[in-house]
Every structure is written in C-alpha cells, then in structure tokens.
C-alpha cells in the first residue's frame, strides 16, 4: 500500500505539514520531495541560497579556488587569498547569528569548504615534501572521517548542530565547540602551520635576529603554530572516537528495540 502521508505531500499539501519532531523536538524531519519543493518555491525575501552568510561562503570558495590557481608559482597571491578565505570562516558565523540567517545549508557549506580547502593545500604539500606524503594523506583522511562521523552521529541523535556537544559526552569537544575563541585558536593555528610549511618552500632568507639567526620567518611560524596543529589533530582523533561510540550506541539501542518487538510478537 502507498504511504498516505507521502502521497498527500506529493499531491500538493503544505510541505511544512510533513515535518515531524524527533528526540524531544530538537530537529525537524521533512520529506525529501517536500524539501526540494520548498527550495524551488522559495521567494527572494526568504531565499536561503542568498543569505548573507552563504554569500560569504561562496566568496570563500572563490578565493580558495584562486589561491589554488596561484599555489604552484605565486606564493604571495596564494597566501593572501588563502588567509582571507580562512578568516572569512569566522565572519560568516557571526553574520548568520547577527542577521538571524543561520541555516543547515550554511553550516554544511562552511564545513565542506574548510575540509576541501585544507585538503587541497595538503595535496600540494604532499608533492612539495614527498618524504612526508603519507603523513599528509593521513591528516586528510583523519580530518574528513572525524568530521563526517561527527556530523552523522549528531544527526542520528537529533542534534540541531554538530557544534552542540554536551560536556557529559566529551569535555574536550565541549570546550572546543562551545567557545568561539577556542575554536578559532585551534583552527587558525592549524591552518597557519600548513601555510608555514608551504611558505618554507619559497622563503629562504633568515630572520637575522641573534637567537633566531638561522631561521626564516616561515620556519619560525611553523615552530610557533606546531603545538596548536598537534592539539587540533588530537581533537580530531577524540571527535572520531566519540562519534564512533555514539553510532555504535545507536546501533545497540536499535537492535535491542528490534529484539524487544520480536519478543512481543512471540508472546502474542
């Protein structure tokens, strides 16, 4: 038999009426066809694609693309464009909250842009430092897997945002996501470390100070940001492990429910 509620949505019922609540009303679930219809019919005054924070997100993508274009032959343009793209990451979130234009699309766009931009730089570093290519490949895999599993575990437990982590789940992730200054510090320090490695291939002039006579500016930045880079990837490991445990817990709960339903069927 056809699903009645799905049929009603497809025949023109208000798509918003198909939303249902889950996990104490923390997230609304909408039929996929209804969501597509809403996105197609959205007006100019309420067009999520044109929200100011999302326009900033598109700008980040454009700047990152231009940065990659210059990466192999113009380090100044590359670094400037890359840094601006990264700094705009802090601006779009503030704009979203100030303008009341937070959106799931914007949150995912932001995360995807971060992951892809950093991964492209790491791909270049793999060719610039072939002896460490396996390390850069590992960092790409860790970054993508930890964020994907964290995002998916957040959706499975009904959270409105992957940044809403409670301290009883993980004190480390709670400190990381619930303080914007901490989040910016680790993200910016991690990117600074990678940019420093990139610039080390181009800058060969020592600083010239008595204590740092043999170091270049790029090498000095790498040494300063190195501990932050290590801390950021420790957080990625914690995020991956906690997300894995959450998903396993969901599996166990669902399997227990299935067994319970089977036992009820047998007892009838």
Is 114 considered catalytic here? Answer: yes
Which is the catalytic residue, given 31, 89, 92, 114? 114
CA distance 92 to 56: 6
List Cβ neighbours of 86 (8 Å cut-off, separation of 6 or more).
Answer: 117, 187, 188, 191
Query: In a 10 Å sphere around its CB, with 0-12 CB exposed, 13-18 middle and 19+ buried, how is residue 118 labelled?
Result: buried
Which residues are CB-neighbours of 104 under 8 A, at least 6 positions away?
none
Please state, in angstroms and rounded to a whole number, the distance separating the CA atoms of residues 28 and 22. Answer: 7
CB-CB contact of 173 with 236 (8 Å): no
State the catalytic residues.
Answer: 114
């Amino acid at each position: 038999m056809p699903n009645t509620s799905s049929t009603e949505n497809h025949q023109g019922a208000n798509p918003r009426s198909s939303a249902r609540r889950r996990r104490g009303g923390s997230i609304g679930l909408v039929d996929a066809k209804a969501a597509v219809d809403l996105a197609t019919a959205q007006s100019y005054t309420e067009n999520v694609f044109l929200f100011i924070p999302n326009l900033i997100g598109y700008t980040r993508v454009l700047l990152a693309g231009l940065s990659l274009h210059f990466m192999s032959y113009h380090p100044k343009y590359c670094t400037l464009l890359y840094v601006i793209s990264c700094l705009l990451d802090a601006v779009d979130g503030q704009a979203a909250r100030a303008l009341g234009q937070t959106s799931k699309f914007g949150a995912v766009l932001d995360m995807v842009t971060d992951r892809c931009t950093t991964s492209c730089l790491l791909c270049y570093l793999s060719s610039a430092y072939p002896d460490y290519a396996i390390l850069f490949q590992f960092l790409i895999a860790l970054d993508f897997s930890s964020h994907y599993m964290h995002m998916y575990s957040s959706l499975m437990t009904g959270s409105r945002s992957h940044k809403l982590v409670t301290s009883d789940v993980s004190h480390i992730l709670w400190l990381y996501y619930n303080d914007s200054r901490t989040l910016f510090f680790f993200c910016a320090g991690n990117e600074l470390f990678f940019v420093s490695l990139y610039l080390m291939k181009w800058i060969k002039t020592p600083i010239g100070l008595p204590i740092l006579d043999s170091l270049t500016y790029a090498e000095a930045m790498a040494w300063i940001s190195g501990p932050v880079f290590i801390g950021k990837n420790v957080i990625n490991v914690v995020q991956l492990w906690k997300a894995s445990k959450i998903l396993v817990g969901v599996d166990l709960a669902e399997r227990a429910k299935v067994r319970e339903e089977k036992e009820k069927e047998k007892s009838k």
